[in-house]
Amino acid sequence: MEVFGTPLDPISIGIGIGIGVILITLLSPKTASSSGQIINPSIQKNEPKVATMCPLQDIEDSISKSDKGVLAYCRCWRSENFPYCDGAHAKHNKETGDNTGPLVIKK
C-alpha cells in the first residue's frame, strides 16, 4: 500500500492505529455514564425513578418569597436541600471537572 507515493507496511499501519486509540482513550473527556459513576448518589434511592413535581403556584409563591426573586432547582443531585439548589454543584464541579449548575427560574 502507498500513501502519497510512500509505501506503508502493515506493522506501521497497526502502530498508527494503536497510537490513535490510546490518544483518544486518554484525551476524551470522562462523563458520569462513561466512567460508570452513579449520577444520583443518595436521593430517593428506594424509588425506581425520581420525578419531582412542583405545582406552578408553589413555584410562584417561592419566587415571591425569595430575596432575589429567583428559585434555583438542583441538577447535580448533591444538594442537601433537594430539589432546591444549595450550591453543592460547585464542589462537585471542582472534583469532577463537570460544569453542572442549577435550573434557575426567574419571575
Residue 70 grid cell:
429567583
- Residue in 45, 49, 65, 94 annotated catalytic: 49
Please give the grid coordinates belonging to residue 95: 472534583
7, 1 in Cβ contact below 8 A?
A: yes
Vertex 51 angle, CA 83 and 92, to 5°: 45
Catalytic residue check, 49:
yes
User: How far is residue 50's CA from residue 74's CA, in Å, rounded to a whole number?
Assistant: 13
H or E segment and range at residue 30: none
What phi, psi does 70 have (nearest 5°)? -135, 160
Give the residue numbers annotated as catalytic, written as ranges. Answer: 49
